[in-house]
Copies of this chain bind each other. A is one copy, B any other.
């Protein structure tokens, strides 16, 4: 394990300390060491936006905390849900009296802990409504969409929900916008190498050299097929063949496209993949309204990439265009 760490059991604490030191212009700590917040949260008059999840996915989740995006984040161990208490404290830190939108990913631990936190928050007089991201097409068939995991599409959900809140939307309007964003979003990943949780010391899954795993999850959850390693162009085609029919995305549609590396893939290669993605979309009459390419949602040192498409209408375009100032995404108006 060639890693830059101290005690493998203390990585999240060490990382959080460094993160808070580096980004004190955007985020600050709270009384709960596993809850961080936007330095101006709660923002008076604004619906609070909260998320949370396991560590190891940087810049997700804490990297999307900041102006016009997420107000407070619950931080879990590596690849493990934050506690209900961390979610509850995030809700409290984000609430300005206008309610809280908790926008998170569909994983058993997160579902359980958000549910508990919501109950506790309500007892304290905070109104919480939730949207559960389930954009990973490969994680369950369309008929069982409620079983699908949330992956990089969560970023677009936070972007849209955060923008709606920033523009003065009430809680129901923020929830509706975030729900619409994730309903319009589909993702799929391809894994080329595995990754190792420092405290475990060895990988829990394996991808043989010369092969690739299509549909792999953000924690190495099994994909839908293992095949010989293909070219970037073939990967782009295979990913789009999975995503496009699922929504469906059709001729005349406009989309936001997001290609994220899984951690260790050179950034150059993400652009090589995106180059073909946009070419295929253009040939089908699907226009890319805006694209994001980079390490937006990673899985430690996995090699591979995810492709996410969100169909956009005028409302979603306006929200996606909103200025944001976070660690993981900075966007000028």
Instruction: Write the residues of chain A forming the contact surface with B, with a CB cutoff of 8 angstroms.
Output: 2-6, 11, 14-19, 21-22, 55-56, 58-59, 190, 192-193, 195, 207, 209, 212, 229, 231-233, 235, 263-275, 278, 288, 291-293, 295, 298, 300-301, 303-305, 325, 330-332
Contacts and interface: CB of A to CB of B under 8 A. Distances in A.
A75 to B, nearest CB: 11
20 contacts: A2-B229, A4-B270, A4-B272, A4-B304, A11-B268, A11-B269, A14-B271, A15-B268, A16-B271, A21-B274, A21-B291, A22-B271, A22-B292, A58-B268, A59-B267, A263-B266, A265-B301, A266-B301, A330-B331, A332-B332
Contacts of A22: 271, 274, 291-293
A272 B325 contact: no
A220 B330 CA distance: 32
Contacts of A14: 232, 271-272, 275
A321 to B, nearest CB: 11
A3 B278 CA distance: 20
B268 A300 contact: yes
B263 A264 contact: yes
A330 B294 CA distance: 14
A267 B291 contact: no
Nearest to A67: B332
A254 B88 CA distance: 39
Contacts of A207: 2
Nearest to A230: B4
A301 B298 contact: no
A273 B6 CA distance: 9
Nearest to A196: B266
Nearest to A300: B266
Contacts of A58: 266-268, 271
A36 B34 CA distance: 44
A193 B2 contact: yes
Contacts of A17: 271, 275
A20 to B, nearest CB: 9
A16 B190 CA distance: 22
Contact of A275 (B21, B272, B325, B332): B21
Most buried by B among A235, A266, A325: A266
A235 B332 CA distance: 36
Contacts of A304: 4
Contact of A5 (B18, B190, B272, B278): B272
